[in-house]
Amino acid sequence: MWKKINSKAGGTANFFMEFKKEFSAGFEKFGYNFRLWTEAYPRQLFIGMIVLIIGSFVISFVLIKPHHKPFIQHNNLKNLPDSSQTAAGLTRKMSTGFDDIIEKTQNISKILELKKRVKALVGKKELSPVDSSTLRNDLDTLRTLSKF
């Protein structure tokens, strides 16, 4: 049913070799003609390259405008604060940001500690008057801390 097919290719054929075999005559002819043309008209080739460079410059910087507004507009330069005021304001904002982070972290640790105490008090079978007042205070503190 299955018969082995013997190939005479030898396994050395690949895409590039086949491409070269097929199109090498055309590439050689193009290369020869291009060399003749560049040797015959070197000045025109140089002028053409200069025209292309100038044309790309015109297209890049004159015709194609950026779609975004510049970061600093010239008429707003007078209204900018001094660099010392800007640095102080930035430092103040950063320190308040860090203070907020530290405060939130402390609140979270307090909340976790209060939850442990509330679970321990709720787990008791009977509460003493001290335990009930502690539970009430802990729950109120949890409510206030959870708002922030």
Please give the model's pTM, rounded to 2 decimal places: 0.36
Residue 139 neighbours by CB under 8 Å, 6+ apart: 118
Domain membership of residue 123 as a residue range: 94-148
Distance, in Å, from the CA atom of 72 to the CA atom of 67, rounded to the nearest integer, reads: 15
Taking only the tens place, the pLDDT of each residue in 11-57 is: 666 788 888 888 888 989 999 999 999 999 999 999 999 999 999 98
Judge whether 4 lies within some domain: no
Distance, in Å, from the CA atom of 56 to the CA atom of 76, rounded to the nearest integer, reads: 33
Cα angle for residues 124, 125, 129 (degrees, 5° grid): 75
Judge whether 99 lies within some domain: yes
Judge whether 9 lies within some domain: no
Taking only the tens place, the pLDDT of each residue in 83-142 is: 555 656 656 666 677 777 888 888 888 888 988 988 988 888 888 888 888 889 988 888
Count: domains in the chain = 2
C-alpha distances in Å from residue 47, one per residue of 35, 42, 52, 59:
17, 9, 9, 18
